Amino acid sequence: MIWSIFSPARDYPEVFICEEDGFVDLTFTISNFKKLKSGSYEIVVKGDLKGDKVGFAIELLPSWNPQVVEGINDAFYWGEAFFKNIGAESEAFIRSLATLYGATVSDASVPDKVNAQVVGLACNPEQLEVSPCKMKFFFNPDGEKELYSEVFINIDLAEKRLEFNEKDNDYRAPLLRSLLQ
């Protein structure tokens, strides 16, 4: 399954910003989705964020391990993903995110990919093609405290929507550092 919603006039649809209760949440229109030969899913978003052309890709790796949580009917699925650089749009995303977080970034040199541990919150990320999935990404969970961060990423392919939602304001600086390392 491969699809794209690109058209010459709408290559960069508006990124919706919700700033409520001190949190910054972003909603992107998915530009491209494909299942790779490896079994991974790649989701690309590009958008206009306050006049900046921004974007990035998320690659959800295959092999998700269910874990039952007491008191919850559905299992939580653990796996891995990459936050991927797609070029100038990814650098612009980090700069724009820093501005929204009230920070500045002197060098927005984004690595090709940044690894994250991921948990599907009562959803299986391997089932993206049939149902939406809300996930929590953990960057540098086994690393230095100043790099540890969490962010919610929710994907709904039917609605062509990816949400990049803040988990905790204290993760702002570590998240920016994680995405730039």
| pTM of the predicted protein model | 0.91
Question: What's the pLDDT tens digit per position in 129-145?
Answer: 999 999 999 999 988 88
Strand 23-35, strand 161-166: pairing:
antiparallel
Among 91, 80, 97, CA closest to 174? 97
| Residue ranges covered by each domain of the chain | 12-180
pLDDT in tens, 124-133: 999 999 999 9
Cα–Cα distance measured from residue 119 to residue 173, given in angstroms and rounded to the nearest whole number: 22
3-class DSSP assignment, residue 99? helix
Q: What angle do CA 28, 34, 37 make, to 5 degrees?
A: 150
Average pLDDT, the chain: 92
CA 137/CA 80 separation, integer angstroms: 9
Mean pLDDT value of segment 170-174:
95
